[in-house]
Amino acid sequence: MSEQRQQLYFNLIDELLRCPNGQEPEILESKPELIDSGFVETMLQVATMFAHEGNQDGAKFLFFVARELAKELGLYPEVPSTEVANTEVANKE
């Protein structure tokens, strides 16, 4: 990933952190060219850094948005709860 693209990701994350509550979808929709797996990965890195620095609210927010974007991008598999339960039972046998 280029340094320039990384900087664009950081700028977008900063915009998300500063925007009024509820305007996040509009901000993300305004920059569709940046919404990809690299952006999700960068959000997770920033969230992890926030968590280590004691900014729990910022970390939780970024983890939540990253997870939602990952789902939309097909990077976060949806596993039905019955399938998870069956897998856990099978693992115990």
pLDDT attached to residue 36: 95
Sites in the chain below the pLDDT cut of 50 = 84, 86-92
pLDDT attached to residue 70: 93
pLDDT attached to residue 19: 94
pLDDT attached to residue 39: 97
Domains of the chain, residue spans: 28-76
Cα distances (Å, whole numbers) of residue 42 to 8, 35, 70, 91: 11, 11, 12, 33
pLDDT attached to residue 78: 65
pLDDT attached to residue 76: 73
pLDDT attached to residue 66: 95
Cβ–Cβ contacts within 10 Å for residue 60, how many?
A: 13
pLDDT attached to residue 75: 87
